[in-house]
């Protein structure tokens, strides 16, 4: 991967504003947690002491071996590298109390299948927390997102034009809370969807 493309892929994660958003989102989690991601180390340090088990599934790159270990706070962490073509998750039904994704759905090839899997592996009492960027509700910004979509897919590595709430709802998840807002600049890249969804 070129240095430029790598910097573009990680642009939003380095935004200081995003660190606070990510921390606030993850603070609610406890018990068994599944994180879906494209970079495995971004969120580990933000999980609360009430998380007992953390499984992280990386949906980027090629499949690789699973790694297990603990972080400096003693949290058990299982890192699973399933690869970008993954359409299933290697867990039994109703295993997790929480599923988390941050800036992931814009980059997954099979988002519909993965979201259906999120519903499957959540406990009936569980919840899916998401912090994603996607299509703006502002007509001017959304037009620019449509124009830049293919260019950014090639050079930035993600899809600017996904309606995150519609994708989640189509997978059989009911959105309980949703906030849509602008987080920094440029507008075409920083239209955020933050919320919580549960099984229907």
Domain topology for 3-199:
Rossmann fold (3.40.50)
pLDDT for 4 equals 52
Q: How many CB atoms lie within 10 A of CB 166?
A: 12
Using only the alpha carbons of the chain, give its radius of gyration: 16
Q: What are phi and psi of 60, to 5 degrees?
A: -130, 155
pLDDT for 15 equals 63
| Predicted confidence (pLDDT) per residue in 83-132, tens digit | 999 999 999 999 999 999 999 999 999 999 999 999 999 999 999 999 99
Closest to 56 in 3D by CA, of 11, 16, 91, 8: 91
| Predicted confidence (pLDDT) per residue in 39-90, tens digit | 888 899 889 889 999 999 999 989 999 999 888 778 899 999 999 999 999 9
d(CA 178, CA 143): 22
pLDDT for 1 equals 43
Q: Is the pLDDT of residue 133 over 60?
A: yes
Would you give the DSSP letter of residue 127?
A: E
Going from N- to C-terminal start, the domains of the chain cover 3-199
String of DSSP letters for 34-79:
EEEESSTTSSGGGS-TTEEEEEEEE-SSS-EEEEEEE-TT--EEEE
Closest to 106 in 3D by CA, of 151, 149, 45: 149
**18 upstream amide cis, omega within 30 of 0:** no
8 falls in which pLDDT band (50, 70, 90)? low
d(CA 84, CA 117): 15
pTM: 0.91
For residues 193 and 178, the answer to whether their CB atoms sit within 8 Å is: yes
12 falls in which pLDDT band (50, 70, 90)? low
Q: Is the dihedral of CA 87, 197, 57, 41 positive or negative?
A: positive
Residue with tokens 């309980």: 176
90: helix, coil or strand? coil
| Predicted confidence (pLDDT) per residue in 181-194, tens digit | 998 888 888 899 99
pLDDT for 20 equals 84
Residue 175 forms beta bridges with which residues?
197
Q: Is the pLDDT of residue 10 over 60?
A: no
| Predicted confidence (pLDDT) per residue in 163-174, tens digit | 999 999 999 999
Pairing verdict, β 122-133 and 191-199: antiparallel
């Amino acid at each position: 991967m070129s240095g430029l493309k790598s910097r573009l892929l990680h642009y939003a994660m380095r935004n200081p504003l995003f660190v606070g958003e990510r921390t606030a989102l993850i603070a609610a989690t406890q018990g068994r947690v599944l994180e879906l991601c494209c970079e495995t180390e971004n969120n580990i340090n933000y999980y609360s002491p009430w998380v007992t088990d953390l499984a992280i599934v990386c949906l980027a790159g090629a499949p690789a071996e699973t790694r297990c270990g603990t972080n400096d706070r003693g949290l058990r962490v299982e890192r699973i590298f399933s690869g970008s073509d993954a359409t299933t998750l290697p867990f039994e039904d109703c295993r997790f109390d929480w599923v988390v994704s941050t800036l992931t759905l814009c980059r997954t090839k099979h988002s519909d299948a993965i979201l259906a899997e999120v519903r499957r592996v959540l406990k009936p009492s569980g919840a899916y927390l998401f912090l994603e960027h996607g299509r703006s509700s502002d007509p001017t910004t959304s037009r620019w997102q449509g124009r830049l979509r293919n260019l950014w897919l090639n050079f930035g590595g993600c899809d600017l034009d996904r309606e995150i709430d519609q994708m989640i709802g189509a997978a059989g998840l009911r959105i309980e809370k949703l906030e849509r807002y602008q987080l920094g600049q440029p507008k075409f890249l920083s239209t955020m969807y933050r919320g919580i969804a549960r099984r229907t």
